Amino acid sequence: MNRFLSERSETSKQELLKKVTLVKGDINQQPDTDAIVVTIGTDLEIEGTLLKSVIAAAGNDFDAFILENIFSPRAGDVFVVPGFDLPVRHVIFVILPPWKDGFDREHAYLLRAYRHAIETARSMFLRRISFPALGTGSRGYPVERAARLGIEGIMDRLDETFDEIRIVCDKRDTYMAFGRRLTQKGWKQQKSPPPKSLPVKEDEV
């Protein structure tokens, strides 16, 4: 009986893995998803290339809306705001502290960021979510560790209510790191990337 349940559980995990896609592209150009996930610090400072690009793409009112509607954020908190001029309905902000030395619970905060973002999306009945490689930009998290924690956090909360969890990487090293972690779990690359994503060259896979 236990063996049967174990095998069934493993099969379920493999089925859920099919809902995870990995692409190279721009997080701001994912119009076929319901929301994108973005990190921001507790001070709400607009830092890092990715966050600045999201703010710019969302339009002039987006920054003011954040400052007016996000109060006293703490590490691990999640806030959802409208997409404004972005081609998605929602932006899910997760509050993530910067990487220091690995001994200050940073790994727990990053893991929580993925889990809480997916839990929040589920509570809103969203079905397609796009993540960048959280923490690997201005937050300074090591890429390999960020990939491991990212995949762990996604798989901890992914269930059949979602149609797709998309990981959008704008750099080759993050794309490869996430690809390795997914492959270790039995994931197979999609034959073609979803719409509005940059094509992956054969020599980069």
- b/e code 40-68 from CB counts within 10 Å (16+ = b): bbeeeeebbebbeebbebbeeebeeebee
pLDDT digits (tens, 9 = 90+) for 120-155: 999 999 999 999 999 998 888 999 999 999 999 999
Starting at the earlier edge strand, list the strands of the sheet with 20-24. Answer: 20-24, 164-169, 128-131, 35-40, 90-95, 78-82
What 3-state DSSP class applies to 146?
helix
- Average confidence score pLDDT of the chain: 87
Count of domains forming the chain: 1
Q: Residue 198 domain-assigned? A: no
CA distance 123 to 90: 13
> What is the maximum alpha-carbon separation in the chain?
59
**CATH number, domain with residue 137:** 3.40.220.10
pLDDT at 201: 42
pLDDT digits (tens, 9 = 90+) for 98-107: 888 765 577 8
Residue 195 maps to a domain:
no
- Note whether residue 50 is domain-resident: yes
- For residue 96, the tally of other CB atoms under 10 A from its CB is 23
pLDDT tens digit string along 44-80?
988 889 999 999 999 989 999 998 999 889 998 999 9
CA distance 48 to 180: 25
**In terms of residue numbers, what domain contains 184?**
19-189
Strands (E), 41-182: 78-82, 90-95, 128-131, 164-169
Which residue has 């063996």 as its token pair?
A: 3
Predicted TM-score of the model (pTM): 0.85
- 198 DSSP assignment: B
Quick check: is 12 in a domain? Answer: no
Give the C-alpha separation, 10 to 40, whole Å.
Answer: 35
Residues 6+ away with beta carbon under 8 Å from 103:
none
pLDDT in tens, 20-45: 999 999 999 999 999 999 999 999 98
